[in-house]
């Protein structure tokens, strides 16, 4: 009971120290609010009010259907221009897309010939150029197919592919980006806060006070782990509730409580990493450099940015030693697909095992550091 009381009081001391560090408090608030929102919405998930102009040299029923098929919110109402204004409009940045429908287009289509449409794309609008060209191609192909179907029967298809989107029917990128940013912020801030807590002790000279108190390195380290982990866990829960579900209107398929339980185990590993880095770094700038070297591979190669299956096999095997790999798989299974404990228990066991190794490695390093200071 005395050791538990020491761990509790030392953890409360960490809360008070963090409360006086306004820079870290601002980082926590920004990361789990504006950081999550901006990351989810910074890259548009689809076209939005793209400027398009059409040079209709055919003036037929089919060309009119194509012109009227470009509708908000994907496109602005198409501007009908002549051929002489097309290049000027692109050069002036008035249009992202210009579509040229040649003369006799409808008659050529009905005659079975294959007339060509010219689509010019302003590739400096890189976020919309690639996606928009695909949208336009699909829209034009659909309109031509429906128009031809009125005049002659289409050949019967021997097989038809029905595509059904599971878990994200509209392929909304905000659903993916917001949740993954919460996961990334949990990893990043847990490492930063625990490492900063240890460096703050050294810079303020309070680490010497702890050395003369009847507390052990295990109690000091565990106090920092649970207190900083509780801060990150609480901020993540509020971010899921207020920002992801409230602000961004992202549906959560599974149990938030089960996700937070998995996050708590993950924090046990990442806060231990923060303690380890705190023993290596002598100042906050050094800690920042260490975190950059480790955090970027953890986030990029864990499956949160790209699927692990697309990575080289050797990288996939190495990253199984990182807790973030199992946490990302666990979080995606719960929050996206509504998985329960019967599905995610292997990831939970892996995080517990890896977290225990990290904790005792950090504790060993922490004890050596305190022994050298004594």
pLDDT tens string 270-284? 999 999 998 888 888
Residues 6 or more apart from 59 whose CB is under 8 A from it? none
What is the rounded CA–CA span in Å between residue 200 and residue 228? 13
- Burial of residue 257 (CB within 10 Å: 0-12, 13-18, 19+) is exposed
CATH homologous superfamily, domain 52-151:
abc type-2 transporter like domain (3.40.1710.10)
Q: What share of the chain is helix, strand, coil (3-state, %, to 5)?
A: 70, 5, 25
Residues 6 or more apart from 304 whose CB is under 8 A from it? 180, 183, 184, 324, 328
* DSSP-assigned letter for residue 373: H
Q: For residue 120, give the 3-state DSSP assignment.
A: strand
In this prediction, residue 306 carries a pLDDT of: 80
In this prediction, residue 148 carries a pLDDT of: 84
Percent of the chain with pLDDT over 70: 96
In this prediction, residue 263 carries a pLDDT of: 95
Could you report the per-residue pLDDT of 51-77, keeping only the tens digit for each?
Answer: 999 999 999 999 999 999 998 888 889
In this prediction, residue 214 carries a pLDDT of: 81
Take residue 230 and report the two structure tokens written for it. 């509780």
Q: To the nearest 10°, the Cα dihedral for 43, 46, 48, 54?
A: 130
Q: To the nearest 10°, the Cα dihedral for 181, 184, 188, 189?
A: 50
Q: To the nearest 10°, the Cα dihedral for 55, 57, 58, 59?
A: 70
Q: Where are the domains of the chain?
A: 2-43+172-373, 52-151
Q: What is the mean pLDDT of each run of 10 residues along the chain (374 residues)?
A: 85 88 92 91 71 93 92 89 89 91 91 89 79 88 84 61 79 84 93 89 75 82 92 95 92 93 94 90 86 87 84 91 93 92 94 93 87 69
Contact 177, 40 (CB under 8 A): yes
Take residue 254 and report the two structure tokens written for it. 């599974």
| DSSP string of 315-370, one letter each residue | HHHHGGGSHHHHHHHHHHHHHTT---HHHHHHHHHHHHHHHHHHHHHHHHHHHHHH
Contact 214, 39 (CB under 8 A): no
């Amino acid at each position: 009971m005395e050791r538990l009381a020491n761990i509790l009081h030392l953890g409360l001391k960490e809360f008070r120290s963090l409360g006086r560090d306004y820079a870290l408090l601002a980082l926590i608030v920004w990361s789990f609010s504006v950081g999550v929102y901006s990351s989810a919405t910074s890259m548009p998930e689809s076209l939005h009010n793209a400027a398009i102009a059409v040079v209709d040299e055919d003036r037929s029923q089919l060309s009119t259907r194509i012109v009227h098929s470009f509708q908000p919110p994907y496109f602005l109402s198409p501007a009908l221009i002549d051929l002489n204004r097309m290049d000027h409009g692109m050069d002036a940045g008035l249009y992202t897309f210009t579509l040229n429908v040649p003369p006799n287009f409808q008659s050529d289509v009905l005659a079975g010939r294959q007339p060509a449409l010219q689509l010019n794309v302003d590739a400096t609008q890189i976020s919309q150029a690639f996606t928009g060209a695909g949208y336009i191609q699909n829209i034009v192909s659909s309109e031509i197919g429906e128009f031809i179907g009125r005049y002659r029967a289409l050949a019967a298809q021997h097989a038809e592919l029905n595509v059904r989107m599971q878990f994200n029917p509209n392929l909304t990128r905000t659903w993916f980006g917001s949740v993954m940013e919460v996961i990334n912020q949990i990893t990043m801030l847990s490492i930063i806060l625990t490492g900063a807590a240890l460096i703050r002790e050294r810079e303020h000279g309070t680490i010497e006070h702890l050395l003369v108190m009847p507390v052990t390195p295990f109690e000091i380290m565990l106090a920092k782990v649970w207190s900083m982990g509780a801060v990150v866990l609480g901020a993540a829960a509020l971010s899921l509730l207020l920002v992801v579900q409230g602000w961004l209107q992202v549906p959560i398929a599974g149990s938030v409580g089960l996700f937070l339980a998995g996050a708590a185990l993950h924090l046990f590993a990442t806060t231990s990493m923060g303690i380890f880095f705190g023993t290596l770094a002598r100042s906050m700038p050094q800690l920042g450099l260490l975190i950059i070297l480790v955090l970027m591979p953890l986030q990029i190669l864990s499956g949160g940015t790209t699927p692990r299956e697309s990575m080289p096999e050797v990288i996939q095997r190495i990253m199984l030693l990182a807790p973030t790999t199992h946490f990302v798989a666990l979080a995606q299974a719960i929050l996206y697909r509504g998985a329960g404990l019967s599905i995610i228990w292997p990831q939970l066991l892996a995080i517990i095992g890896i977290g225990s190794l990290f904790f005792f490695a950090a504790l060993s390093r922490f004890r050596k550091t305190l022994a050298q200071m004594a």
